[in-house]
Amino acid sequence: MSKNTAKPDWQAIGSTLDKTSTQCFDLYRKSLLPALHSGKPWATTTSAWTSAEKVQLLDKVLKTTTTDWEDLASTFPDRTKAQIYDVWRKVIMPKLKNGEVVA
């Protein structure tokens, strides 16, 4: 069986889905591809983060001396390493810096 080496046409995919090529590529790179490699079902990895998950991530990061995103991802079965890092960097850290409650 031959391996398909054709690269996806993100522009065409985006226009079909009414998304930009960047949005499609980012979804593939951050959710679909890691899920395929790990064997996780990708459909469950794109749902919104719950307050409980954010608090759980904050708790786990605060209890560690070094942040190993791969190790943290193993404790969140429906999340990828990229998703965990992104929610930390884009959601939790800004709230902490502004003195807001993480929830």
Predicted confidence (pLDDT) at residue 41 exceeds the cutoff of 70 = no
What average pLDDT does the segment 41-64 reach?
81
Q: Is 24 exposed, middle or buried (0-12, 13-18, 19+ CB in 10 A)?
A: buried
Predicted confidence (pLDDT) at residue 37 exceeds the cutoff of 80 = no
pTM of the model: 0.60
Residue 55 structure tokens: 């608090």
Which tens digits make up the pLDDT trace of 71-99? 888 888 878 888 888 899 989 999 999 99
